[in-house]
Amino acid sequence: MASDTAQRLKPTGMLGHLSDAQWQTLAPLFDRLVDYKPGDTISERGEALHYSLLTVEGIVARHVAPPGTSRGSFVALQVPGDFVDLHAFPLKRLDHSVVALTHARVAVIQHDSLQKVMDKDIELARVLWFLTLVDASIHRHWAMRNSMLRAMARVANFFSEFDTRMSFALGQEQELYRLEVTQTDLSDACGMTPIHVNRVLRDLREDGCCTFRNGDLIIHDRSRLRRIGQFDTAYLYLPGDETTF
């Protein structure tokens, strides 16, 4: 099964930070693929994990809840080519839960496989470390976004990030993305109420820059969307984008 899995994996998106040789080293170590349905919990806050996951298809989210409350806040999205839970390799226990937002397929790699390959290939270890720190950079951006931007800019910025990361993962910009989440999910990501998200979506639609409906995100005017969201890609550390700072 391992070789079969390896053959089906493509080094898309952020995996572009690995050299071909590094990918050839890493890919065979994934020992299976697992599918999840929208809403499935992939790993629960506090669980001890002995494996990490690579997003192959679909969208996976990290979710943090304050102690008492039932509802929490999405703090990151992972698109195809992103590791999720690679944090779990050094941390062992995660402070957040991981859920599938859409139908999602992930590849599983055991921590002892990772351990072995990283002992031998220090450069690969460093790239993996790098990838977890890009996540940290994105977290910083989310903190900034939800602190500094008003509702409309917030949602526009969120959509711009999604557009940029997904188009990169898919190899080209799309006019339409499947983003099978509810408006309530969006509200948990952007730190606002579902009702207000609904109104902001209407405003964005009437502004003619994008439409979100039935889990479809349609980009009508990308540059306008980015301008409204004050969006800049530098913090994403996209492969081949070394000049952005």
Partner DNA sequence: CGGAGCGTTGAGCAACGTCAAAAGACGTGG
Partner DNA sequence: CCACGTCTTTTGACGTTGCTCAACGCTCCG
Q: Which does 184 bind (CB under 5 to 8 A by kind): DNA, its own copies, none?
A: DNA
Chosen residue from 1, 213, 223, 245 binding DNA by CB under 7 A: 213
DSSP element (H, E) containing 83: strand 83-84
Q: Is 140 in the site for its own copies (CB under 8 A)?
A: yes
Chosen residue from 6, 34, 108, 125 binding its own copies by CB under 8 A: 125
Q: What is the 3-state secondary structure (H, E, C) of 127-158?
A: HHHHHHHHHHHHHHHHHHHHHHCCHHHHHHHH
Contact assessment for residue 129 and residue 118, using Cβ atoms and an 8 Å cutoff: no
Task: Compute the CA torsion angle 96, 100, 104, 105 (nearest 10 deg).
Answer: 30
Q: Which does 105 bind (CB under 5 to 8 A by kind): its own copies, DNA, none?
A: none
Interface with DNA by CB under 7 A: which residues?
Answer: 150-152, 182-184, 191-196, 198-199, 201-202, 213-214
What residues line the site for its own copies (CB under 8 A)?
Answer: 45-46, 62, 64, 66-69, 72-73, 75-76, 87, 90-91, 93, 95-96, 118-119, 122, 125-127, 129-130, 132-137, 139-144, 146-149, 190-191, 230-232, 234-235, 237, 242, 245
